[in-house]
Amino acid sequence: MISSGILQAGGNITVDGTALWADILETARIGGTPKGGIRRLTLTEEDRQVRAWFAAACTSLGCTVTHDSMGNQFARRPGRDAGLPPITMGSHLDTQPTGGKFDGIVGVLGGLAVLRALHASGHETRHPIELINWTNEEGSRFAPAMLASGVFAGVFTEQEALDKTDRDGIRFGDALAAIGYRGAPPCGQHPVAAYFELHIEQGPILEAEEKTIGIVTGVQGMRWYEVTLTGRDSHAGTTPMPMRADALLAAARIIEAVSTVALAHGPDAVGTVGLLENRPNSRNVVPGEVFFTIDLRHPDDAVVMAMETDLRGRIEQIVTDAGIALAMERVWDSPAVHFDPACIASVRTATESFGYPARDIVSGAGHDAAYMARVAPTTMIFVPCAGGLSHNEAESAEPGDVAAGANVLLRAVLDADARLNP
Ligand code: GLV
Ligand code: MN
Ligand code: MN
């Protein structure tokens, strides 16, 4: 049943799914890869190009587009009451090195579809409506993920974010200035009435259960670590096996331990080593130094903590046995998040108003919504992706599902517009 809030407030408006799909395909050319994915790392030339596209598209719909000191872009459509804080939508346009066409992009372009629908209908909301393109959600080039929404929410200071470096030693602040997106408005000094983020699920559940919409109730806890193992470079032909200090061999044993720990805390725990640098990386040198990352996740923070304790114990044993020096730092701790019940209710009502098959779901991936939940009533909407595959160039979603998600986003925003600040 459609809520009275939505009925009062433009409940007959729907998004143009064809235009939304065309936007996805058009922007996919910016950083498009031969395998059909996107390589659009944050704060690169490709990121600059897609930001310019985003600003032009929003401006053509009568929005005012600004960016803050972390490069977050805000497209604002005025409301009837300019004194009210905006109801916001958003996600990210940066991608993984071998990313797909949908992760983050569906949320930004779905929000654009909402703005287009409001513009086409001439519907006037009470609150301003804003669409946000967050800087560096992926955390692939500059760790951690959700860096700029984290500064927005006060999780990180701006200075610590600006001083982050990529694996080539380039400072985040310098890369931001180089693409022309270090804005004057200080990041975070921007009141928000509510935040809604549309995203692909990035997992297999919705597709397997033939659901169109995931009503997201929260985000699981996640921790990232950086590990450097130091052994001794030595000759591969002349160093007897018992006399080696092989950092890569120790790393291999730790990688196995990460998997063992995740399985031991199953079925919901996951653990990944996704980045590894072996030095000197020469075929006839026993590796003397290895740098790698660890990603641990579970919906319950207590289990994440138990995984960390278990893993640290195993790592200590491995390096002691191997005669390897260990430096291990926890570089990110994003606790489990529970979204706002009233915003979840807006999404549920909107979903029911269309009759879309739906289920409640907890996000396994990190999202800017996880940090926005600290400063504003927040929730998310998921749509299925093929085989649950994400962070992969073959990532795929159905046009009808993406349009359905944007329709739910539209009605949830209108419901919040009627409900908030009465
Ligand atoms: C973000 O994409 C994450 O979940 O790592
Ligand atoms: Mn994403
Ligand atoms: Mn991602």
Residue 331 to residues 139, 293, 294, 307: CA-CA distances in angstroms? 12, 10, 10, 16
- Cα 108 to Cα 66: distance, rounded to the nearest angstrom: 15
- Cα 19 to Cα 16: distance, rounded to the nearest angstrom: 6
Which pair of tokens denotes residue 184? 């004057």
Report how far ligand 3's centroid is from the alpha carbon of 104 (Å).
Answer: 7
- Cα 279 to Cα 248: distance, rounded to the nearest angstrom: 9
Q: Are the CB atoms for 195 and 129 separated by under 8 Å? A: no
- Residue 213's DSSP bridge partners are 358
Q: Give burial (CB, 10 Å; 0-12/13-18/19+) of 208.
A: exposed
Report how far ligand 2's centroid is from the alpha carbon of 98 (Å).
Answer: 13
CATH of domain 17-220+336-419: 3.40.630.10
Which pair of tokens denotes residue 191? 């009141």
Q: Which atom of ligand 1 is nearest to the CA of 146?
A: 1
Q: Which atom of ligand 1 is nearest to the CA of 103?
A: 2
Residue 28: strand, helix, or coil: coil
What is the best residue among 95, 138, 147, 296 to mutate for testing ligand 1's pocket, by most ligand atoms within 8 Å of CB?
Answer: 138
CATH of domain 221-334: 3.30.70.360
Residue 373: strand, helix, or coil: coil
Q: Known binding site: residues?
A: 92, 103, 138, 199, 391
Residue 212: strand, helix, or coil: coil
Using a 6 Å CB cutoff, which residues line ligand 1? 138, 145, 365-366
> For the chain, which residues make up each domain, given as ranges?
17-220+336-419, 221-334
Which pair of tokens denotes residue 176? 């931001």
Containing H/E element for 47?
helix 45-59
pLDDT, tens digit (0-9, with 9 covering 90-100), for 249-304: 999 999 999 999 999 999 999 999 999 999 999 999 999 999 999 999 999 999 99
> Cα dihedral sign for 39, 295, 333, 373?
positive
Q: Are the CB atoms for 268 and 262 separated by under 8 Å? A: no
Q: Are the CB atoms for 196 and 409 separated by under 8 Å? A: yes
Report how far ligand 1's centroid is from the alpha carbon of 222 (Å).
Answer: 9
The ligand whose atoms approach the alpha carbon of 95 most closely is: 3
The ligand whose atoms approach the alpha carbon of 105 most closely is: 2
> Cα dihedral sign for 188, 190, 194, 198?
negative
DSSP E strand boundaries for 10-144: 64-67, 73-77, 87-92, 129-134
Report how far ligand 3's centroid is from the alpha carbon of 251 (Å).
Answer: 25
Sorted by sequence, the CB contacts under 8 Å of residue 264 that are 6+ apart come out as 310
- Cα 12 to Cα 417: distance, rounded to the nearest angstrom: 15
- Cα 77 to Cα 60: distance, rounded to the nearest angstrom: 11
Q: Which atom of ligand 1 is nearest to the CA of 391?
A: 2
pLDDT score for 9: 58
Q: Are the CB atoms for 200 and 106 separated by under 8 Å? A: yes
What is the best residue among 199, 391, 392, 395 to mutate for testing ligand 1's pocket, by most ligand atoms within 8 Å of CB?
Answer: 391
* Residue ranges in the chain modelled with pLDDT below 50: 1-4, 7
The ligand whose atoms approach the alpha carbon of 380 most closely is: 2
Q: Which atom of ligand 1 is nearest to the CA of 364?
A: 4
